[in-house]
Amino acid sequence: MTLKNEDVRNIAQLARLQISDSAIEQLTTDLSNILALAEQMKAVDTSNVTPMAHPMDATQRLRKDEVTEIDERDKFQGIAPDVESGYYRVPKVIE
Amino acid sequence: MTTKTIKQIQQGLAQKEFSSVEITRQYLDRIDSYNSTINCFITVTDELALQQAKTADAVIARGEAGTLTGIPLAHKDIYCTDGIKTSCASRMLDNFIAPYDATIIEKFRQGGAVMLGKTNMDEFAMGSSNENSYYGAVANPWDFERVPGGSSGGSAAAVAASLAPGATGTDTGGSIRQPAALCGISGIKPTYGCVSRYGMVAFGSSLDQGGPLARSAEDCAILLQAMAGFDPRDSTSIDREVPDYSEQLNDDIRGLKIGLPKEYFAEGLDADVARVIETAIQEYRRLGAEIVDIGLPNANLAIPVYYVVAPAECSSNLSRFDGVRFGHRCDNPVDLEDLYKRSRDEGFGDEVKRRIMIGTYVLSAGYYDAYYLKAQQLRRLIKQDYEKAFQQVDVILCPVTPEVAFKQGAKTDDPVSMYLQDIYTLALNLAGLPGMSIPAGFSQELPVGMQLIGNYFDESRLLNVAHQFQQATDWHLKTPELA
């Protein structure tokens, strides 16, 4: 799989990563090389194989729908970049 | 005193040969002397350590000591520690003071263990050389110009350099076993679901597993005992009784069937590393084990499958780092998208960005079936290889790495050549099986590790097989002379 610079820009947009123009060429090469490694998977026929989601084929446990967490807003917001009156502040989203 | 095993420290504390404060001070002094060179600690919690040691001494004096009371340990900086910086070796979390303890940290605290500090690692546990750290590379104590392995490189280097008698690590594709091998110590990656992942910063959720690194298999058994167990706060934790991991250590291994997968002794393995492993196999023969040739026909698929599954899960897990609730935020964002993109660009290092992008690509519309789904199908084939092998043998023995510790900078320009380092370790994580690395000898005056792979939840047997080797050899007792 050979990617183009434009593909890498699209992936970066999906991943919400700012990629500088100077880094794009190298990144395109690196990502293409990694995907070339992944291409080796194509050699094996897996048409009748069930995908494996968990090594022990375990399923998600359920618990009773009870409140188990306590309110620790002040503690959690103590490490936030920008808060005001218990809210997280971000740049204006709606004009 | 700092070359003692955890077992010996337990005995010394019990017999009042020294106090926890005394031995903790010795480790802190040694950290003070060598950390600037080795760079294995990101944070040294000296005040907390001495306070915990003092408390431990009081507990010991009252005759109420448990197995871990007063034992100094280091923790990989991937485990959340309440009130203490938990950076994951990333600029993204450079300012992150964890607001809670990971389950295993809580267990060590409650057990009276002493925390020396938080160890360096590859950023978000992505790497095989500990060169991907915001806090700089870690030096291998056997040769400061070489890498200690990764991603638990700081933990492995700290134990090898006697800056801690034991440490915690995590293993997503070899991150306990590979640095243990390159630093000449012992480490175990338990069965997936054995050790709680709660409070362990997530990288590849279906692969990540915590475990200990220490001087001996006997010490690994002591630490694993403290770490293992069902945790309702981890949805993938397995609800199963925890065995006594030390109980079988001294069992005779005569008649034990050890499988040698031919695929792991093929081209690409350094000839001198192969010689060391061959000598170790002879030792097992002498101990009465039966050596059986086996095949793992899909072994060559582990690298491509892993480098689809792990990045996919990483891209999903790391989407939480958005610069809004915690972690790094860029200066003066013009809008929300700019805030996300620049915070993430500035906060993440190159390897993390590469993996996020690969993961984003393989999960994106139109590519999911060809990559992620295909990889999950192949994962089952890899697991089936091991299931077949374990019908024939009790444990599998193979190398941990294709070569000894390489020079810093040797592979940093070529991500794929770095990935190939993990060729013998990845399959276990894909299958969810337990594995160990123990010192097997030396090549070019550098340690060589030997990998032992067990069936699901067969950690006790792995520790037994490793301990028996360590009773017959002294490779695990060798320590580097630090300049």
- Active-site residue, selected from the candidate residues B87, B129, B162, B175: B175
Cα–Cα distance for residue pair B331/B323, rounded to 1 Å? 11
Are B416 and B159 in contact by the 8 Å Cβ rule? The answer is no
**Contact partners, residue B165, CB within 8 Å, separation at least 6:** B2, B4, B5, B6, B9, B27, B71, B72, B73, B159, B214, B215, B219
Does residue B20 have a cis bond before it (omega within 30 degrees)? no
Confidence band for A94, pLDDT divided at 50, 70 and 90? confident
DSSP annotation of B264: G
**Does ipTM surpass 0.85 in this model?**
yes
pLDDT tens digits in sequence order for chain B, 483 residues long: 889 999 999 999 999 999 999 999 999 999 999 999 999 999 999 999 999 999 999 999 999 999 999 999 999 999 999 999 999 999 999 999 999 999 999 999 999 999 999 999 999 999 999 999 999 999 999 999 999 999 999 999 999 999 999 999 999 999 999 999 999 999 999 999 999 999 999 999 999 999 999 999 999 999 999 999 999 999 999 999 999 999 999 999 999 999 999 999 998 999 999 999 999 999 999 999 999 999 999 999 999 999 999 999 999 999 999 999 999 999 999 999 999 999 999 999 999 999 999 999 999 989 999 999 999 999 999 999 999 999 999 999 999 999 999 999 999 888 888 898 899 999 999 999 999 999 999 999 999 999 999 999 999 999 999 999 999 999 999 999 997
Pick from B96, B380, B431: CB nearest A79: B96
User: Which residue, among B35, B183, B189, B186, has the nearest Cα to B119 in the 3D structure?
Assistant: B35
CB within 8 Å of chain B, chain A residues 51-90: 51-56, 58, 60-61, 63, 72, 75-76, 78-82, 88, 90
DSSP annotation of B38: H
Cα–Cα distance for residue pair B21/B24, rounded to 1 Å? 5
- Decide if B308 and A41 are in contact by the 8 Å CB cutoff: yes
Cα–Cα distance for residue pair B475/B454, rounded to 1 Å? 22
User: Quick one: pLDDT at residue A1?
Assistant: 67
User: Quick one: pLDDT at residue B132?
Assistant: 96
CA distance to partner chain B, nearest, from residue A76 (Å): 6
A with B: how many residue pairs have Cβ under 8 Å apart?
166
| Residue B295 CA neighbour count, 13 Å, CB half | 2
Q: Is B76 an active-site residue? A: yes
User: Domain locations in chain B?
Assistant: 1-483
CATH says B1-483 is which class?
A: alpha beta
Q: Is B107 an active-site residue? A: no
- Decide if A55 and B238 are in contact by the 8 Å CB cutoff: no
Cα–Cα distance for residue pair A92/A95, rounded to 1 Å? 7
Cα–Cα distance for residue pair B178/B187, rounded to 1 Å? 9
Cα–Cα distance for residue pair B316/B337, rounded to 1 Å? 18
Give this prediction's pTM: 0.97
- Active-site residue, selected from the candidate residues B90, B128, B133, B151: B151
